[in-house]
Structure 1
Amino acid sequence: MYPKIILDLIEDLKRLPGIGEKTAERLALHLITWDNQDLNHFGNNLINLKDKIKYCQTCGLLTDHDICQICQDETRTNDQIMVVSDSKDVFSIEKTNTFHGKYHILGGLIDFSKGIEPKDLNFDQLKLRIKDNIEIIIATNSTVEGELTAQYIKSLYKDDNIIVSRLGYGLPVGADLKYADELTLIKAVENRQKY
């Protein structure tokens, strides 16, 4: 029914999370209504994602600089490092404006069923950043994988002079941080407990 280019675009859009057949079709048909300048701008932004976005050399956050703005911010405390699964979690927590430490992005969670082991995640860089009298705040999801990763982090520092805490359970069990509302995240940060 549709020309091949539209069908191809629909298939591409369906690969995005949360986009099904009907939404992809609606988006593709909407993009046709854009003028050439808007389409070129949109296309260039997509191309630039791979060219200009990289991972912060310190924490692993998505950024367009070698060191992200959070790591460069001298007003943030260096005594707290919140460990999260991915950049989306940092962006969600930052919206709450309640945490003023630094972050560390693992790049996923331990999941043996998918072959993801600790060596596959950003633990080596975390070890380089940890020193005595620092608090590690574990902010992984309250899923099986999140809990397994949290337990692994706890085991890494059990004999060190490190405070290991976990976000408070204002978050529902099985929830992803990126889907939590701001108030829930605020309470989770405020009510974290030693882990």
Structure 2
Amino acid sequence: MEKKIDELIEQLNKAKGFSRKTAERFIFDLITNREKISDFKDIIKYIENNFTECEKCFYLAENGVCPICSDEYRNHNKIFVVSSIQDAHTTEKSNLFNGLYHILKGEININKNQTPEKLTIPNLLNRVDKDKEVILALNSTFEGEVTANFIAQLLKAKTNKITRIAKGMPVGGMLDYIDDLTLKSAINNREKYED
């Protein structure tokens, strides 16, 4: 039985946000509070049956295209490029940006075998023309900088409106951890991308 519990903990530990200790607590909580199992089954079933990725921007969608991409009142000439759905969700909750998003599904990280081909960069390039402003809102980490530089070089052939959020984020900071005031400052004070 101990071996099976360890296997369950390891499996849960693979999910983002679950350290080994958190996974262990979660498993034991479900074992000792059986009524919670039903709640989590419902959550997982709802996600499985209702949520997909938007075919345009890779944000959350319920019917192929997300409500952001299909909203005619949003500014379709601004694309906010982020690493993850969580980053877009954080920005969207702040009500500070009224354009579109593009989720890269990660950042370039050769050590973790996360190469540019594994990101949604070609999809981004297909969405950009000379009228679009692309706002690079990647994390203030080494991987975020490498990814921003790589994308900016590719975008130069498509548009000269490449900006990036201001350095209001602390070095090493993650977008989904910053407060609304810092995010607002970073968006409002964005600057033309210079390599």
TM-score interval, smaller chain: 0.7 to 0.9
Q: Secondary structure at the match of 1:79?
A: strand
Question: Partner residue of 2:156?
Answer: 158
Question: Partner residue of 1:174?
Answer: 172
Matched letter for residue 68 of structure 1: C
Matched letter for residue 30 of structure 1: D
TM-score (norm 2): 0.85
Deviates most, 177-186 or 95-104: 177-186
Q: Name stretches of at least 5 consecutive residues in structure 1 with no aligned partner.
A: none
Counterparts of 1:13 and 1:124, CA distance in 2: 32
Deviates most, 8-17 or 45-54: 8-17
Distance 1:127 1:73, change over 3 A: same
TM-score (norm 1): 0.85
Distance 1:182 1:162, change over 3 A: same
Residue 127 (structure 1) aligned with residue 125 (structure 2) = yes
Q: Contact 1:140–1:147 at 8 Å: present in 2 too?
A: yes
* 1:30-77 superposed Cα distances (whole Å, 9 cap, x missing partner): 333243xx5324213224434432210111113222000111111110
Q: Secondary structure at the match of 1:104?
A: strand
TM alignment of 1:173-192, pairs within 5 A: 173-192=171-190
Deviation at 1:4, TM superposition (A): 7.1
Question: Partner residue of 2:137?
Answer: 139
Question: Partner residue of 1:30?
Answer: 29
Deviation at 1:78, TM superposition (A): 0.8
* 1:93-115 superposed Cα distances (whole Å, 9 cap, x missing partner): 11211100001111111222333
Question: Partner residue of 1:73?
Answer: 71
Counterparts of 1:11 and 1:131, CA distance in 2: 45
Q: Contact 1:136–1:162 at 8 Å: present in 2 too?
A: no
Q: Name stretches of at least 5 consecutive residues in structure 2 with no aligned partner.
A: none
Question: Partner residue of 1:85?
Answer: 83
* 1:2-31 superposed Cα distances (whole Å, 9 cap, x missing partner): 877766554444444444455444433433
Percent of paired sites with the same residue = 39
Question: Partner residue of 2:57?
Answer: 59
Q: What is the total number of aligned residue pairs between the two structures?
A: 192
Q: Contact 2:133–2:159 at 8 Å: present in 1 too?
A: no
Q: Contact 2:125–2:155 at 8 Å: present in 1 too?
A: no
Matched letter for residue 162 of structure 2: V
Counterparts of 1:13 and 1:139, CA distance in 2: 30
Counterparts of 1:21 and 1:41, CA distance in 2: 22
Counterparts of 1:159 and 1:24, CA distance in 2: 46
Matched letter for residue 40 of structure 2: F
Query: How well do the aligned residues superpose, as a CA RMSD in angstroms?
Result: 2.4
Matched letter for residue 33 of structure 2: T
Q: Contact 1:131–1:162 at 8 Å: present in 2 too?
A: no
